[in-house]
Structure 1
Amino acid sequence: MKAIVYTKYGPPDVLRLVDVEKPIPKDDEVQIKIHTVSVNGSDWEGLRGKPLYARFGGLRKPLHQILGSDIAGRVEM
């Protein structure tokens, strides 16, 4: 599947479109086929790494490397 990822903090220039492995949901999870995603303030702070609390869990590089916490899609069966 395709994802826009970032492996370091910075401006939008650090974003890259790459192929990533499709995740396999655990027994207590569902998989969503995403149709639309938005980038909100939390995503923007995570991308920039500022303010400092945005680096929670990843001081030197991002712990979570895929942006987009606001999504719309369909649960896959």
Structure 2
Amino acid sequence: MRAVVYDRYGGPEVLHVEDVAKPVPKNDEVLVRIYAVAVTRADCATRQANRRSGRGFELVSRAIFGLRRPRQPILGGDFSGVVEAVGPAVKEFAAGDEVFGSTGIRFGAYAEFISRPESSRITRKPKSLSRVEA
């Protein structure tokens, strides 16, 4: 699958598209084909390692997200899409369900697919919202 990744901190120029392994849902996970993703201030601050917030905050940020390079190379926290597959223990979702959710600081949504635990911040998309609005 394709994903927008970064392997060093910096401005938007550090982002690039790369082929990465498609996730396989574990026992309790939902595999979502992503159709829309938000680009948030948190994504930008993480990508820059919060250099604009002061040296102390930059050190805290790097301690969390990776000292020399990002631990998680795929940013993106808020997404919407369609369930592609589910693990055997998943009860609330089925293939074809339209969903939206947030990964929190785990990121990973700047990709074609994401696999998240059923118990995480993911829910069915209301029919009244488009995938982008969700």
Larger radius of gyration: 2
TM-score by length of 1: 0.91
Q: 13-22 vs 54-63, which deviates more?
A: 54-63
Return 5+ residue gaps in structure 2 as ranges.
51-56, 86-134
Return 5+ residue gaps in structure 1 as ranges.
none
2:61 is aligned to: 54
Q: How many residues align?
A: 77
Identity %: 44
Higher relative contact order (Cα pairs below 8 Å, separated by 6+ residues):
1
TM-score by length of 2: 0.54
What SS does the aligned partner of 1:30 have? strand
Paired letter, 1:29: E
Coordinate RMSD, CA, aligned: 1.1
* CA distance in 1: counterparts of 2:77 and 2:6, whole angstroms: 15
Residues 1-77 of structure 1 correspond to what in structure 2 (within 5 A)? 1-50=1-50, 51-52=57-58, 53-55=60-62, 56-77=64-85
**Structure 1 outlier segments of 4+, above 4 Å:** none
